Amino acid sequence: MPYLEIFARRERASNDARLSAFVSEVTRCVSLIFDVDSTAITLFFLRLDDDAYAHDGALATDLPPGDGRAQRVFVKVHAYARSVELRRALAAALTPLLAAYFDVPLKRVAVYFFERSADEVAHGGKLSADS
């Protein structure tokens, strides 16, 4: 842990060299800012089809080409609790990376933190608090 769930309408092909660089940079940021080894960090890409995203009462498929409402990037950061300063630093570091990779303005990127204590997380059937 931490785990990041990245929701976006468009994602470049998985063999795109830019994706590998993006994954490396996001992992590096999380590792440095949250002071965790990169082996503890997992990214999940949740691809949304065009008809699986709506904003402001309209499906993305119903919006005109180039309409900014048609694409937002939503990220859930699941991690043990961190200080507001560290959450602020991670959001500031991730937002431009996400905006650049998914080709959206900064204001279209949302980062939400889902924090847990060690007694609310289990790996391998064992609570982290019991490790």
The answer on pLDDT for 66 being more than 60 is: yes
How much is the average pLDDT of 16-27? Answer: 92
Asked if 24 and 31 count as a contact pair (C-beta separation under 8 A), the reply is no
Of 116, 88, 90, 81, the C-alpha closest to 32 is 90
pLDDT of amino acid 10: 64
Report the alpha-carbon distance of residue 35 to residue 99 in Å, rounded: 24
Task: Let me know if 81 is exposed, middle or buried by CB neighbors in 10 A (0-12, 13-18, 19+).
Answer: exposed
Q: Please name the residue that has the structure tokens 């976006």.
A: 8
Q: Which CATH number describes the domain made up of 3-130?
A: 3.30.429.10
Asked if 78 and 5 count as a contact pair (C-beta separation under 8 A), the reply is yes
SS3 of 46, please? strand
Please report which confidence band the pLDDT of residue 53 belongs to, taking 50, 70 and 90 as the band edges: confident
pTM: 0.88
